Chains A and B, each alone.
Chain A
Amino acid sequence: MQEPENDPRSIEQIRKSRNRVLALSLAAFVILVFFISLAKMG
Chain B
Amino acid sequence: MTPTIPASASTSLPADWRDLFALTKPRVMSLVIFTGLCGLIAAPERIHPVLAFTAVLCIAMGAGGAAALNQWWEADLDAGMKRTSKRPLPQGRLDRTTARDFAGVLCAASVFLMGFAVGWLAAAILAISIIYYAVVYTIWLKPRTPQNIVIGGGAGAFPPLIGWVAATGHISLMPVVLFAIIFFWTPPHFWALALFVKSDYAKVGIPMMPVVAGERSTRRQILIYTVLLLPLSVLPWWIGGTGAVYGLSALVLSGLFLALSLRVAFRERSGPEDTMKPEKQLFAYSVIYLFALFAALVVDRFVVL
Contact = CB atoms under 8 A, between A and B. Distances in A.
Interface residues of A, number: 19
Contacts of B92: 1-2
B17 interface: yes
A14 B74 CA distance: 26
Interface stretch (B6-14, B23-31, B174-182): B6-14
B17 A2 contact: no
Interface string B75-102: 0000000000000000111000000000
B15 A18 contact: yes
Given A32-B54, A35-B50, A40 B117 contact: yes
B17 A21 contact: yes
Interface of B: 6, 8, 11-17, 48, 50-51, 54, 57, 91-93, 116-117
Given A2-B8, A14-B16, A36-B50, 10 more contacts: A2-B11, A2-B13, A2-B93, A18-B16, A18-B17, A22-B17, A36-B116, A36-B117, A39-B50, A42-B48
Interface of A: 1-4, 7, 11, 14-15, 17-18, 21-22, 32, 35-36, 38-40, 42
